Chains A and B, each alone.
Chain A
Amino acid sequence: MADGLILHEVAIARDDTPLIALDRTVGPGDVLTVMGPSGVGKSTLLAAITGTLPPGFSLSGKIWLDGHDITRAPPHRRRVGILFQDDLLFPHMSVAQNLGFGLRPGGTARDRTRLIDLGLMDIGLEGFGDRDPATLSGGQKARVALMRMLLSDPCALLLDEAFSGLDAALRIQMRALVFDRARARRLPVLMVTHDEEDAQAAGGAVIRLG
């Protein structure tokens, strides 16, 4: 099977009522945007890919990621990164601990500290490691959340209205940052949004639901 994220005849039903059906491939470094009003099951699609469909929903079809069938894999083995509208930084951990939680296991303590420091530098937050996430600005939190996800070395990236919570100037910055990183790492990206500008900035294919 080819690299990238393949949604092969994926269909989701809720209590046997069909909700959403999709048959698409997102190649490495590509972005697929799913648009539509709230309630059409956009977030449910992402939950199916992360393996966290709520009870009552059923999934048919296959999900392939970089040649592996992840349709029934447990959520923590899928290597699918996700960003939500809220940063969802763990409030009980420092910024560095949040990044360390994401960083894949392995390496000496010193290596890990170095990787976390490099990650902080990469998003312009050098020296912020010991900070309480609650003391960061909205844009800083969003960048930490992105870096935490990238440090976990995912094979695909899902964006669930990831830019909706930011003000206009910040939104443009974050979009550029996220899409640049995804392209540089050749990650397939699946974005759900209701914002046309998001879709334009992504530059890839667009599916409209509802």
Chain B
Amino acid sequence: MRTTVSWGALPVLTLCVLLGPVAAGLWGTLLPAFGHLPAAGQTGPTLAPFADLLAWPGLARSVWLSVFTGLTATALSLGITILIVAGWWGTRPFVWVQRALSPLLSVPHAAAALGLAFLIAPSGWIGRAVSPALTGWDRPPDWLIINDPLGLSLIAGLVAKEVPFLLLMTLAALGQADPTRSLRVAQALGYGKVTGWIRCVLPRVYAQIRLPVFVVLVFGMSVVDVALILGPSTPPTLSVQIVRWMNDPDLARRLTAAAAALLQLGLVAGALGLWCAGERLAAWIGVRAIARGGRGRGERALRGVGLSMGLVGAAAVLGGLAGLIVWSFAGFWGFPDALPDGFTLRNWSRQAMALKGAAADTALIALAAVTLAIVLVVGCLEAEHRRGRTLTQRGLVLLYLPLLVPQTAFLPGIQTLLLSAGAQTGAGPVILAHLVFVLPYVFLSLADPWRAWDARHGRVAAALGAGPGRVLWRVRLPMLLRPVLTALAVGIAVSVGQYLPTLLIGGGRIATLTTEAVALASGGDRRAIGVFAVAQTGAALVPFAAALAIPALVWRNRRGLHG
């Protein structure tokens, strides 16, 4: 009986690890928002922080920017994802799309944003490629393409990274939706491919990817690193302004930041509400369209739009990465030359010291967070298996919750709490903060393959006299080596990409490849930016390569495991 109790405790512990920091952070935001911050000599309650916030002249613009960029990026990402899958499911181009997915996903947001900036800035690669032949430029014009006041390049950067994520989630959902037969029926009834897919398959699939879409919306509205790199700066999005206030040497500014964080929470809730209303509207329009029975027009154009948008997005991420690599090895590179005069290792050796320190911190935090995450996730899944109870829909929402609360709403609160408690900021709290974001992704990555394992192997092993522990260690984990390593790689990529938790919880004392790359972004040293962004991408990418290579090597003589 004892073992049953302890296995039941694991999911509870996991939920505490996930939700504890979120709840504590929100509490730590709530208090200073109402003027209570003893560390800064302030005691509340008072509404003064909100008055200060309202007095900030940039407020209306920055609120509008957050909502506009978040909603637009999400709608575009979802639209492109749907067009790609609806138009190209089961075709050869779709196989290419699937192949490109993993590398696109593993490029961290910050590196993708920096790469995009290197492409589309007036002095970027695209500008150089067409200059002076087409433009007549012999020096870059003073155009605000990145950091444009409408946030368009911010939207572009978000869309390029979110389409692969939504594609992956859609592909996972399609596994259960039986699209092939539905589509065959729809096409036999005279519906075009895209129209048939949207009317027959999408409603089922969308129900499955709804939470990931919400995650994209919340992330888009509250992201800091991408907005710092690509977004407008006077005023910036609300999230960026919150971080500016948090980093202000004047501690009283933290009260304004807390009030803004609560506003951010409200904005996100409002945007989610708006999105849900949009869902209803879309469903209503869809039902009417189905009732009218139109067979769809402009199929070819829709398919073309979907694929070309997808290609442009992939090219932006991969081309940007190539640009970062070239810059990191560039010698003298005058405008408008398409390539540098020469290549050198000097940029790397010049950054070697800083790079080594940042890489060590990145690795320490990622490995610690991912180790904790995999232990908790395997524990939860094993508890689920042994107790014969799978996660309910409500449990799934709890798992997604840390991704549905804007980072800027609760991370400042954790920092404030740590500060008030006199606790040292350092690696420990940063690891726990990373764990909050790493754990859901590790769980989502491992849960399906874990549950798909043929449990009769366990029954046979038990009949042969193996206890539950031996079944887990000797049979289940080795058989699931590949998905376990993939989940580890996903977790490492998530941890490597974290900017705000490292910055805020580390109190500026923890420098990872990501915080360094983003810090360099505001300066103009493209070679240094290239070095750190390439290193950051490598740190996220290498584990994926290992997750492919290790099982292939360990099980090279085991054909039954090469699925």
Tell me, yes or no, whether B552 is within 8 Å of chain A by CB.
Answer: no
Q: Please provide the chain B residues from 433 to 477 with a CB less than 8 Å away from any CB of chain A in the complex.
A: 454, 456-457, 459-468, 470, 474-475
Contact indicator B462/A51 (Cβ below 8 Å): yes
**Segment touching B, from A6-14, A113-121, A128-136, A182-190:** A128-136
> Would A152 and B457 count as touching, CB distance under 8 A?
no
Decide if B479 touches A54 in the complex (CB within 8 Å): no
Q: Does A52 contact B (CB under 8 A)?
A: yes
B458 nearest CB neighbor, chain A only: A52
Q: Are B462 and A55 in contact (CB under 8 A)?
A: no
**With a CB–CB cut-off of 8 A, which chain B residues contact A148?**
464
CB < 8 Å neighbour of A102 from B456, B459, B464, B467: B464
Q: Closest B-chain residue to A85, C-beta based?
A: B456
B467 near A74: Cβ-Cβ < 8 Å: yes
A96 within 8 A of B: no
* A92 in contact with B461 (CB, 8 Å): no
Q: Which of B270-278, B394-402, B422-430, B555-563 contacts A (4 or more CB under 8 A)?
A: B555-563
B residues in contact with A88, CB < 8 Å: 454, 456-457, 460
The segment from A22-30, A76-84, A164-172 that touches chain B is: A76-84
Selected from A101, A132, A135, the residue in CB contact (under 8 A) with B464 is: A101
Residues of B within 8 A of A50 (CB): 459, 462-463
Q: How far is the CA of A5 from the CA of B464 in the complex (A)?
A: 18
User: How long is the Cα–Cα vector from A104 to B463 in the complex, in angstroms?
Assistant: 11
Contact count band on A: 35 or more
Whether A91 and B560, one on each chain, are in contact in the complex, defined by CB atoms closer than 8 angstroms, is yes
- Does B79 touch A at the CB level, under 8 Å? no
Contact B557 A154 (CB under 8 A): no
**Binary per-residue interface labels of chain B (378-389) against chain A in the complex, 1 for a CB within 8 Å, 0 otherwise:** 000000000111
Contact assessment for A152 and B456 in the assembled complex, using a CB-CB cutoff below 8 Å: no
How far, in whole Å, are A74 and B389 apart by their CA atoms in the complex?
A: 19
Taking residues whose C-beta sits less than 8 angstroms from the other chain, chain B's interface range is: 20 to 34
Contact B478 A92 (CB under 8 A): yes
- A66-82 CB contacts (< 8 Å) to partner B: 74-82
CB distance from A168 to the nearest CB of B (A): 25
- Whether A55 and B459, one on each chain, are in contact in the complex, defined by CB atoms closer than 8 angstroms, is no
User: A149 near B: Cβ within 8 Å?
Assistant: yes
With beta carbons under 8 angstroms apart, the residue of A51, A80, A90 that contacts B457 is A90
- Interfacial chain B residues near A89, Cβ < 8 Å: 560
CA distance A66 to B94 in the complex (A): 60
Shortest Cβ gap from A200 to chain B (Å): 26
**Chain A, Cβ-Cβ closest to B556:** A132
B466: chain A residues within 8 A (beta carbon): 76, 101
Nearest A-chain residue to B475, judged by Cβ:
A90
Q: List 19 A-B contacts (CB under 8 A).
A: A47-B459, A50-B463, A55-B388, A74-B462, A76-B461, A76-B463, A78-B463, A84-B456, A86-B456, A90-B457, A90-B461, A91-B560, A91-B561, A92-B560, A92-B561, A104-B465, A133-B560, A152-B464, A154-B463
Which B residues form the contact surface with A (CB < 8 A)? Answer: 387-389, 454, 456-457, 459-468, 470, 474-475, 478-479, 481, 555, 557-561
